[in-house]
């Protein structure tokens, strides 16, 4: 896709289906002759013109608005023509076909259909957006909660990029000092000590810690967490899913093994998406269908960000039940990756006034009733806590997993740089300079000032066609 970024492109820019308005967008260089040939008149920049969109027989396909945005004052940084018509799929396809037909007749050589994300990719290539802002376009479209949409909007406005550039400025200044010391070894002046290089590095690490904390919160807003409800049959897993979702999603009966396959619902708590999955009851099953459901339950558990281990308070004193719970707990410990939290949820508090047993080491413990809702708020707060969510300040912006990976890489390089700087009376300045260079490269990769073409291709290929 990058090799063809000089071609003029066209696409339907609105979502598939029917609507009041649909848009066909064309982007390229010097679109004035094409617009004249297509519409039969010149267009005044940035003015809406109401006119007929004629077909090849001269008859109107539709009547609508045409807008022309000359470069560089457009979304892509190129000339952009937008045709706003009635939002029917047939009408828009006819308009798009007419654009390609007029272009093929000589009005715009090389016009082709846009690939996914190509309009936004051109905005990035033409310095209208950096890469983090370009990704925020897709995040804003895909936002599943109000908080995520607000965070994506802040990223699109450049809040995240501004913090990355502040880190870069401080890092480049520190690199300059180190490189100067390397370039002039004959000078006896201790550049680094006089310029407080150690203090600059410490302040840079402190600044990075704040950015990383906010980016982690932003990644939670964007991605959410996968929460799997696990436990023995009839512990109330399906009832808990229904209570959290506020809807009857899963079938609830007194019959053990009612849930044979996973049931999933995304809910939000304080704007954070939680992908909650109800699974089959864990036990030794002779029924083949139930056995498959239990295998799938363990597969979901293995990929969870948090597990709600559901227990039945009314049966906690039954030796067979307690033994089965211990077996599940042992299997959980061997199945879950290190660091995945397990919350012991003691259900049916409405029917069992006795307190639950002591929580397992490292486990949070919640007593609740999925039937009455008592204790659900405590569970919601605990889920946010184990996910690492903090009360979202207004300045939180959306971030992606690749941004966190880059920031963690920067943190590792700066830690190694600090070790080189403080490790001996005579720092290894060449190694210190290399760590700072690698940290800068990682930061540049976030905004796209440094990045491989294949990375850009993957990012933009996940956009919709019209973006």
Residue 140 lies in a domain: no
The response to whether 128 counts as a known ligand-binding position is yes
Q: Give me the chain's average pLDDT, please.
A: 85
> Residue 282: inside a domain, yes or no?
yes
Looking at the chain, the number of H-run helices and the number of E-run strands are 15, 12
Q: Is 423 annotated as a binding residue?
A: no
Question: Is there a contact between 135 and 446 (Cβ–Cβ < 8 Å)?
Answer: no
How many independent structural domains does the chain possess?
3
Ranges of residues in the chain whose predicted pLDDT is under 50? 1, 3, 188-189, 250-260, 454-455
Residue-level pLDDT at 293:
82
- Residue 362 is labelled as binding a ligand: no
Does 95 lie in the same domain as 26? Answer: yes
State yes or no: 318 annotated in a binding site. Answer: no
Within 13 Å, how many C-alpha atoms sit on residue 55's CB side? Answer: 10
Same domain for 119 and 210? no
* 435 and 366 belong to one structural domain: no
| Domain, as residue range, for 412 | 150-219+400-448
Summarised one tens digit per residue, pLDDT across range 88-125 is 999 999 999 999 999 999 999 999 999 998 999 999 99
In this prediction, residue 166 carries a pLDDT of 94
Q: Do residues 240 and 349 both lie within one domain?
A: yes
Q: Any binding-site annotation on 234?
A: yes
Residues 164, 191 share a domain = yes
Please give the pLDDT value at position 1: 47
Claim to verify: residue 48 and residue 99 sit in the same structural domain: yes
Same domain, 233 and 382: yes
Residue 99 resides in a domain = yes
**With contact defined as beta carbons under 8 Å apart, do 345 and 308 qualify?**
yes
Indicate whether 192 and 260 sit together in one domain. Answer: no
> How far from 183 is each of 133, 144, 168, 175, 313, CA to CA, in Å?
37, 52, 22, 12, 72
pTM equals 0.76
Residue with tokens 């802002």: 133
Q: Is 281 annotated as a binding residue?
A: yes
Same-domain status, 370 and 256: yes
160 and 34 inside one domain = no
Percent of the chain with pLDDT over 70: 88
**Are 13 and 113 part of one and the same domain?**
yes
Please check whether residues 112 and 37 belong to one and the same domain.
yes
Q: Is residue 465 part of a domain?
A: no
Is 236 labeled as ligand-binding? yes
Residue 276 lies in a domain: yes
286 annotated binding-site participant: no
158 known ligand binder: no
């Amino acid at each position: 896709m990058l090799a063809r970024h000089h071609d003029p492109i066209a696409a339907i820019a609105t979502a598939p289906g029917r609507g009041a308005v649909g848009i066909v967008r064309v982007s390229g260089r010097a679109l004035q002759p094409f617009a004249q040939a297509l519409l039969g008149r010149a267009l005044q920049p940035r003015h809406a013109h109401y006119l007929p969109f004629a077909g090849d027989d001269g008859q109107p396909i539709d009547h609508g608005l045409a807008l022309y945005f000359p470069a560089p004052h457009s979304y892509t940084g190129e000339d952009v023509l937008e045709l706003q018509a009635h939002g029917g799929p047939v009408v828009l396809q006819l308009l798009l076909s007419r654009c390609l037909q007029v272009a093929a007749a000589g009005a715009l050589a090389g016009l082709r259909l846009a690939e996914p994300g190509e309009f936004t990719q051109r905005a990035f290539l033409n310095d209208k957006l950096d890469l983090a802002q370009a990704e925020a376009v897709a995040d804003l479209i895909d936002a599943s909660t109000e908080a995520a949409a607000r965070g994506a909007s802040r990223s699109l406005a450049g809040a995240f990029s501004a913090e990355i550039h502040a880190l870069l400025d401080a890092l480049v200044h520190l690199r300059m000092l180190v490189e100067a010391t390397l370039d002039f070894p004959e000078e006896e002046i201790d550049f680094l000590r006089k310029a407080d290089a150690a203090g600059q590095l410490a302040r840079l690490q402190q600044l990075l810690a704040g950015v990383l904390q906010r980016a982690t919160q932003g990644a939670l807003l964007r991605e959410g967490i996968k929460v799997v409800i696990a436990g023995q049959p009839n512990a109330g897993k399906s009832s808990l899913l229904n209570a959290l979702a506020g809807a009857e999603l899963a079938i609830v009966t007194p019959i053990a093994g009612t849930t044979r396959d996973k049931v999933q619902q995304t809910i939000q708590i304080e704007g954070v998406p939680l992908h909650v999955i109800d699974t089959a009851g864990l036990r030794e099953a002779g029924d083949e269908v139930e056995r498959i459901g239990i295998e799938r339950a363990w597969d979901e558990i293995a990929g969870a960000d948090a597990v709600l281990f559901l227990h039945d308070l009314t049966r906690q004193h039954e030796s067979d039940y307690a033994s089965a719970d211990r077996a599940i707990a042992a299997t959980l410990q061997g199945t879950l990756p290190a660091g995945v939290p397990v919350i012991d949820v003691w259900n049916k508090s409405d029917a069992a006034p006795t307190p639950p047993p002591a929580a397992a080491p490292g486990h949070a413990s919640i007593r609740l009733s999925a039937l009455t809702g008592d204790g659900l708020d405590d569970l919601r707060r605990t889920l946010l806590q184990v996910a690492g969510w903090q009360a979202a300040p207004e300045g939180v912006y959306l971030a992606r997993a690749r941004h966190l990976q880059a920031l963690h890489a920067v943190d590792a390089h700066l830690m190694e740089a600090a070790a080189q700087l403080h490790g001996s009376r005579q720092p290894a300045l060449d190694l210190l300079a290399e760590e700072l260079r690698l940290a800068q490269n990682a930061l540049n990769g976030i905004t796209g000032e440094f990045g491989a073409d294949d990375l850009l291709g993957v990012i933009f290929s996940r956009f919709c066609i019209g973006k």
